[in-house]
Structures are given as C-alpha cells and as structure tokens.
Structure 1
Amino acid sequence: MSRHLLVILAAGIALAPLQAAPAQDLSADTTGVPFTFPAFVDAVLANHPVSQQARLVAEQARAELRQAWGAFDPKLVASWDQKRFGGTEYFKYFDAEMKIPLPIGADVTLAFDRTMGRYSNPDRRTTGDGTFTAGISLPLGQRIITDERRTALRQARAARDAGDAERIGILNKLLFSAAKDYGAWYETWRRRVIAVEGEGLADFRLRAIRQRVANGESAPIDTIEALLELQRRQVTRYETEAAFYIATLNLTAYVWDAEGRPAALPADAAPVLTGLGRGGLDSTQLNRLLETATERNPDLLKVRAKVQQAEAERLLATQGLLPFAEAKLAGLGERGADQPFFNRSRLDDNYKAGLTVAVPMLFLKERGKFGATGAKLEFQEYEQDRLRRDVEYDVRASIFDLANLERLLERQVGSVRNARLLRDAEQVRFENGESTLLILNIRERLVLDEAAKLAAMEAKVASARGALALATGDRSLLTLPR
C-alpha cells in the first residue's frame, strides 16, 4: 500500500529543474501610488468636517469678543415729544445725546436739548436755539478699577484664547485618531504584502518539491508538507486582505473633497513611511518639549483662560466691597453763542453737576459674591496645577515611547536580516540533503513573522507621534521635517 501511495503522491509533478527559492525583500514594497502621511494630514486639515467645525469654534469665540467690545460702542439717542390739546400747544421737547464710554470706566456725554411751548417743565426750558451739553461721569468708588463692561471684555478675551485652544485641541484629537488609523492601514498593507510574498515562496517550493519527488530526490510525503504550508499561507493572505480592506475603509472616512463631500482614497494608494518614520526625537529634547507643552497644550490653554476669567470676576467682586460713588459734571451752552464753549468764566454760570453715593449696610450680597468668586478662582488654579502635571507625564511617556521604538526598530531590522540569513542557510542544507522541508518551512515562517513584527513596530510610530503632538499641542511633531 505504501508503494501505491508514493506513486499517487508523485503523480502530476512538474518536470522543471529544482532551484533555490527566489530571494524576497520583505522590508519594502514599491507597488501602488505613494500616499504619504504628510499628504494625508494636509487633506484631513483642509476638508474634514471636524476641521471645519474647529474653525467655527474659534470664529464663534471671536464673535463673542466683538460683542463684548459693543459695551464701548458710542451710542446716539434722540427723542421727540409733543403735546397739543384744545388748540393750545403745551410743549415740544427734542433731545439728542451721544454717550462715549471710555476704557477707564468714565463716560463722555454730548447732548443737544430744545424745548418749546407755554407749559413746558421749567427745568427743561432752553433758548429758542436749544442748549448744548458736554460732560463726563466719573466713578469714585465701585467701578474705579474695573466694572461690568471691562470685566466682560477681559472674560471675552480669555474666551477667545480658549476658543483658539479648543480649535487646536479638536484638530489634534482628530489627527491623533487619523495617525492611529494611518498606522493600522500601513501595518495591514505591509502584512498583506508579506503574506502574498510568503504564499509565492510556498507555491514555488511546492512545485520544486514535486520535481524532486519526480527525480527520486525527496520522499513523496514532502509534497504533503509543502502543500500544507501553501494552504496555511493562503489562509494568512485571506486574513490580511480582509484586515487591509477594513483599514482602508477606516482611513477613507477621513478623506473629503473641497465641497465637503465624502471622497475616496487616490487610486492604488499605498502608505509609505516618508515623513512618519524613525528619527528626530529622543529623551534629550524633553525640556524643550515640556516647555512647548506648557505654552501650546490646548487643555492647559483652556484652563488658563478659565483662570483669567475667574480672576476678572474676583476683581469685580472686590470692587463690590467699596461704596458706590459717581460724580457727573457737564457744561451748558447756547447754540450760536459768541463766547467759546469751554471758556471758564462762562462755565462758572452754565453747568450741571451731580454726585451719587450708595452704601449697603451689611454688604451681604457683595461679601457672598466675593467668597464665591474666590472659591471659583482657587478651584481653577488647582485644576491648572493638576493638568500641568498630567501634561508633563503625557509628554514624558510619549518621548519614552518614541525613544524606545527607535531602539526596538533597530533590533527588529537586525532580527529580520538574521532570520533571512538562517532561512537561506537552511535552504542550502535542504538542497544538500542535510535538512528537512519542515525545518526549512519553520525558518521561513520566522522570516515572515519577524517582517510582520517590524511592520507593526513601524506602524506604532504613527500612534506615538500622534500622542506626543496631542500632549504638547504641536501637531508639527506628527511628521518629520519635509
């Protein structure tokens, strides 16, 4: 029965001469159109909806700042009031006033009044040509250092800075996710390439073994070993093709055209390490990157803005503990008068003045607001300290991760090279009859496994750079200099 089995296994074997398996370079692939990581980042930043939303967040904060500036917008108010009854004209009042708020808390007022009629209010009577008024109101207690509108402006400026930080944070989180998915796309693409090459090697070896069996140089059972190895690698190729398809779909989700419509990856797009690979960062740059994180980390910038807003509220609440006092002084003049308006001798007899003072007896509301704003400020300062420490840890961890990947990649490149040398040596021994097909297959599996491990490490660089960019707030760290 064994002789019949040997004859059946040897049937159908090709008559090509036996030769060593063709050399395969599993560390690189030149098929497809290169779609570099920097080009991918540019496309995401230009057209992705989240990128557009981030821009709108910053624009909204700037619009709110313009709204806060509106409190300093000069205002012109005019009114006309008339009464006529039973054929008698009681009064006609015309008032026009322009109030100009000043950044120091004072207000400048320019006004024109004209009153006509027999029964007008005596304190509103003017000459026939009307009366001009030019005056100023000054805070003497509360609002002398700050007031509601200056506080609102400070808070709006801080909100603008927070909006810019929010925009950076949204973009960095988007790019961090994109970097991880690009790394996964690269890894599955390399694994597919390695699987295809491994399948080709196994197919070549099966044909060679069949020839050796036909020539009587190998046992027919070696054909089963070679066929099993080919089937194993075909399964691996199917798995890598499915993984690559899913990773490609995930990456395509980041690609949009200029009109805001979903787009596809470029035809035959292939990932490359250009702009993403090794080099450029190590632990010696820690201090510089920590300084960058302090200045640019979006979360730190946002909490710093909240501290500034709380400080503005605290200062306003401090002003509330002072009595309210306001002085008003305005000069009066007739239209068409020959004497200069601001002549001192004329103003001595033509002016309006006023003084308003208000003092709460217990300052309950003011003291409550003072305590609340103080607690709010202290809370934000604690949050800033905590977040600064967290950011420092994140930067240190990201730098360590990148430096460690640098060392691992160097070792892994050597592992792939050494595995290939062992495989080639085992091929020679097999051809000389000093080894078995099983051992040769094991050596070749090691080459494929080490190459796949190298691809996984290379893909991790994308995630590591994304984590560092997220921690520091500097997305230029995503890529190497172009």
Structure 2
Amino acid sequence: MKKLAVVLFFISFSIGFSQENSTVLSLEEYIGYVKAFHPIVKQAKLITSESEAKLLKSRGAFDPKIEVDYNRKTFKSTEYYDKLNATFKIPTWYGIELKGKYENNEGTYLNPEYNTPTDGLYSAGVSISLAKGLLANDRMATLKQAKIYTKQAQAKQNQVINEILYDAITSYFNWLKNYQSQIIFSDFVVNAETRFNNVKTNYLAGDKPAIDTLEASINLKNRLLDFEKAKIGYIKSTLEISNYLWLENNLPVELTDSITPDIETINKIDLVLNSSILNVSDVSIENHPKLKELQFKRDILTIDKRLKTNNLLPRVDLEYNFLTTDYNDINLLNTANYKSGLIISFPLFLRKERADLKLTKLKLQDIDFDISATKVSLKNKIDATLQEIESYKIQNQLLLNLVTDYKQLVKSEERKFDLGEGSLFLVNYREAKLIESQLKKIDTEFMLFNSKSNLLRVINSLN
C-alpha cells in the first residue's frame, strides 16, 4: 500500500499540469520522499555496510586454517624424498595458537631429522607468545578497531544524511520564497494593468493629464519586468528542488507547474522539523555524531597505543607438541614424546618501537584537542543560531506590521487619487514601498526557516 501511495502521488504530478487546481507539496511530504528515495541518502547507508564487511574481514584472522606441504623428488629411479606435512591451526584471542599436525616422510636421501614411523607421526600442541603479542597483538587490535570502525561509520552516516537533508530542506525554502515573490509581483502586475487602463480611460474622458498615462505605463512595464525576474527565479528553484525528488529504482521526478510549495509552512515548521528548542541548555551535544566519531577515533588510537606499548617487550615464543603414532589412542600422548621450541629476540635500542609509540601518543593529544575544540564550537554555533532565530522572529513580526500599515497607506493613497486629490506618483511610491516590505518579509521568513533547519543541522537532528 505504501509503494502504491507513492506511485499515485507522483502520477498526480505528471497529470497535474493540465489541471486548474494546483497540488501542494508540503515540507513534511517532501522530506519523507527525500529520506526514502534520494540516491545520496541510499549511498550514505552503504557506509555502514562497508564497515561491516571490513569487520567480517578482520574476523577472518581468527579463522581455523589447514595447511598442507607436500614435496617429492625422484631422480634416475631413486626416490630422494617424499615429504607430507599437514597442519590444522586454531588461532585464539590472545597470543595462543592450538595446532594439530600429521607428518609422513620417507626417502633415500631424507634428512634424518625428518624421519617418521611407517604410518606417520601425529602431534598436538600449542604455541604461545609469553611477552610481546600475548595481551596485545596485530590480530587482536585489528578486530577491536574494526568493531569501533562500525560504530564510527554509523556516526559518519548520520552526518552525511543530515547534510543532504539540510541541503534539500534549504532548497524547499528557496522554492517557497521564490513562489511567494512570484505571487506578489503577479498581483501587482494586475494592479498596475488595472490602474493603467483606468488612467487611460480617465485621460480620454478629460479627467486626467497625459503625463499620468505615461507614468502608469512605465509603472506597468516595471512591474512586468519584476514579474519576469521573479518567474525565472521560481523556475530555477523548481528545477533545483527536483534534484531531491526521486522514485524507486533511482527514477528522477520533475515537478510540473501545478505543484506548488505550502505557503502555510511558517505555521507548521516547528512541528515538521521538531525545532521548538528554546535555549542552548535544552540541547545535549554529548551524543553528537561528530563528537562520537572523534571519540571512536580516539578509542582506535588507544588500542593502537596499547599495541605499540606491547611492542616494547621482547619476543618470547614457546611451542610445545605431544607426539604419537596413533591418533585414536589419546593415552599415548605423554611428556616422554614431545617436540618443543623457544624463540627469543629483542632489539637493542627499540628506536622504531619507541618512535611508533611516541607518534601514537601525539595523535592522541591531537584528537583530545580536536574533541575539546569541537565541543566549544558546537555550543557556540547552537547559541548563535538560537539568538539568530529569536532575532528573525522579531524582524518577521515587525515586517508583518509594516506590510499591514503599507497596505492601508496604499489604499488611502489610491482613494485620494481616485477622488482627484492625490497624485499617481505617490500611489506608485507607496506601492513600491509595500512591495519592498513584502519582499523583506519573505526574505526574513526564508532566513528564519534556514536558521531553524540550520540549528537541527548543527545538533544533527534532521535525520
């Protein structure tokens, strides 16, 4: 049903061009379609999918492994050697690896140390890092970091979607602004045309001077020019908003002339955007995706620091294997038959290891500074935007009163002119001031809308 509703909605777009009644595309509906179908929003969701794939890749370091090493040499009918070495390994979380092994070697010139019983030799044992690599190693660090990368990718995804929604919403507000401007100039074109015809009729009747017809004609031409400018602005903003409207299967939608923005947006914006925030104390930035992303980055560096610290330790690898010729009888595994080994290595100066650790510590300091600066920046942006919103609210109310006053002034001036007591110049002047105040009101509404959406953009609450 939901998909059918979407299709029917956009079918109404295509047939609406031939209808007299326009279809209103509200901000709420518009945001819903952007979230559901915009390709960049879908693309942003691939960020987490990519991080999950990398996590799966890092888990592969702990996959059990089977290794088979087979070598054979025969020359002039003499079998020099025939060596089979099969190993099954199980890596574990710490620097411990479990091993099962089978060897079967023979040949005339086989190295004596490779000699095995006729049925081969089985072994089961363990290799362990006693110092470097025990509590922290590359395999362990990579998996831990991959898990954090997944969370970091989610935070990054939220930011990307938040940005695209902000751009889309800003385009809607610009579309609304240009639509309202076009309506204003369209209305005043009608007024100017009516006034020109009235003045012309009065001139022919001998009630008005010829200069009034010229002034009325100039005023009409100016209004037509302003209307054309507003019209092209509206067309461009309509094409811009079409960039954000898509159907399923990545099909773009082009708006027709019958689709218009909602002029009642100012009464609904707080409900649609959930932007009824009063002051900065009402906003919590601790869970802001940008801060979380930086904190995840710090966590990754902390793991890296732990690994670099562990690398300062010497390498002490111990391996011990029980040997038997019959894998079915576990009782044959005893300390009398074994194979063991010990590897010890330690760089004398540790210059590489100490340098790596120092670089990681510097990166941690850098990210700490970045986190502190980001917190202050976010708080200041929120505070500035809240004050901006309050200022635009006051400006909008003042301009609303100005528009009302100018409308009354224009009506009075027109009445005086019709009675022969005023001048056409004053009527046009008052009307120009009315248009100017109406346009200022529209611009102020646009900036108020933008400030509200920008506030949600800053606190990352648009998605």
TM-score normalised per structure 1 = 0.81
1:139 deviates by 1.9
Counterpart of 1:188, as a letter, is N
| In 1, Cα distance between equivalents of 2:265 and 2:103 | 72
Relative to 1, partners in 2 of residues 1:169 and 1:283: Cα closer, same or farther, differing over 3 Å?
Answer: closer
| In 2, Cα distance between equivalents of 1:95 and 1:267 | 77
Instruction: Report the equivalent of 1:436.
Output: 423
| In 2, Cα distance between equivalents of 1:38 and 1:393 | 29
1:148 deviates by 1.0
Contact 1:142 1:319 in 2 (8 A): yes
User: 1:335-350 counterparts in 2 under 5 A?
Assistant: 335=326, 337-340=328-331, 346-350=333-337
User: 1:261-410 counterparts in 2 under 5 A?
Assistant: 262-272=252-262, 277-279=268-270, 281=275, 284-289=278-283, 291=284, 293-298=285-290, 300-335=291-326, 337-340=328-331, 346-410=333-397
Relative to 1, partners in 2 of residues 1:275 and 1:193: Cα closer, same or farther, differing over 3 Å?
Answer: closer
Deviations 1:295-342 (A, max 9, x none): 2333x343333322322221111112212212223333333544546x
Deviations 1:250-296 (A, max 9, x none): 3333344434455422452212256675435455342343x2x4323
Contact 1:183 1:461 in 2 (8 A): no
Counterpart of 1:196, as a letter, is S
Contact 1:255 1:262 in 2 (8 A): yes
Instruction: Report the equivalent of 1:132.
Output: 122
Relative to 1, partners in 2 of residues 1:67 and 1:109: Cα closer, same or farther, differing over 3 Å?
Answer: same
Instruction: Report the equivalent of 2:14.
Output: none
Q: Helix, strand or coil: the match of 2:305?
A: helix
- Unmatched runs of 5 consecutive residues or more in structure 1: 1-29, 477-482
User: 1:237-252 counterparts in 2 under 5 A?
Assistant: 237-252=227-242
Instruction: Report the equivalent of 2:17.
Output: none
Relative to 1, partners in 2 of residues 1:229 and 1:31: Cα closer, same or farther, differing over 3 Å?
Answer: farther
| In 2, Cα distance between equivalents of 1:466 and 1:120 | 79
User: 1:191-206 counterparts in 2 under 5 A?
Assistant: 191-206=181-196
| In 2, Cα distance between equivalents of 1:157 and 1:409 | 49
Contact 1:79 1:96 in 2 (8 A): yes
Instruction: Report the equivalent of 1:142.
Output: 132
User: 1:166-181 counterparts in 2 under 5 A?
Assistant: 166-181=156-171
Instruction: Report the equivalent of 2:197.
Output: 207
Instruction: Report the equivalent of 1:424.
Output: 411
1:170 deviates by 2.9
| In 2, Cα distance between equivalents of 1:381 and 1:331 | 51
Residue in structure 1 matching 2:84, options 72, 84, 94: 94
Contact 1:429 1:435 in 2 (8 A): yes
Of residues 308-317 and 32-41 in structure 1, the stretch that sits farther from structure 2 once superposed is: 32-41
Counterpart of 1:124, as a letter, is Y
| In 2, Cα distance between equivalents of 1:55 and 1:385 | 29
Instruction: Report the equivalent of 2:15.
Output: none
Instruction: Report the equivalent of 2:71.
Output: 81
Instruction: Report the equivalent of 2:226.
Output: 236
Counterpart of 2:316, as a letter, is A
Q: Helix, strand or coil: the match of 1:473?
A: coil
Instruction: Report the equivalent of 1:11.
Output: none
| In 1, Cα distance between equivalents of 2:293 and 2:144 | 15
Contact 2:305 2:357 in 1 (8 A): yes
Residue in structure 1 matching 2:248, options 247, 258, 269: 258
Q: Percentage identity across aligned positions?
A: 22
Counterpart of 1:471, as a letter, is V
Contact 2:280 2:379 in 1 (8 A): no
Counterpart of 2:223, as a letter, is R
Contact 1:151 1:313 in 2 (8 A): yes
Relative to 1, partners in 2 of residues 1:246 and 1:94: Cα closer, same or farther, differing over 3 Å?
Answer: same
Deviations 1:373-400 (A, max 9, x none): 2112212221222222222222222222
Deviations 1:369-424 (A, max 9, x none): 22122112212221222222222222222222233333333333333233323333
Contact 2:275 2:452 in 1 (8 A): no
User: 1:109-124 counterparts in 2 under 5 A?
Assistant: 109-117=99-107, 119-124=109-114
Instruction: Report the equivalent of 1:4.
Output: none
Count of residue correspondences: 440
1:194 deviates by 0.5
Q: Helix, strand or coil: the match of 1:240?
A: helix
Relative to 1, partners in 2 of residues 1:364 and 1:121: Cα closer, same or farther, differing over 3 Å?
Answer: same
- Corresponding position: 1:224 with 2:214: yes
Contact 1:175 1:466 in 2 (8 A): no
Of residues 57-66 and 95-104 in structure 1, the stretch that sits farther from structure 2 once superposed is: 57-66
| In 2, Cα distance between equivalents of 1:226 and 1:100 | 93
1:31 deviates by 6.1
Contact 1:281 1:403 in 2 (8 A): no
Deviations 1:10-30 (A, max 9, x none): xxxxxxxxxxxxxxxxxxxx9
Relative to 1, partners in 2 of residues 1:273 and 1:59: Cα closer, same or farther, differing over 3 Å?
Answer: farther
- List structure 1 segments (4+ residues) > 6 angstroms apart after TM superposition: none
| In 2, Cα distance between equivalents of 1:93 and 1:361 | 39
Pairwise CA RMSD: 2.9
Relative to 1, partners in 2 of residues 1:126 and 1:337: Cα closer, same or farther, differing over 3 Å?
Answer: farther
Relative to 1, partners in 2 of residues 1:377 and 1:184: Cα closer, same or farther, differing over 3 Å?
Answer: same
Instruction: Report the equivalent of 1:12.
Output: none
Contact 1:398 1:468 in 2 (8 A): yes
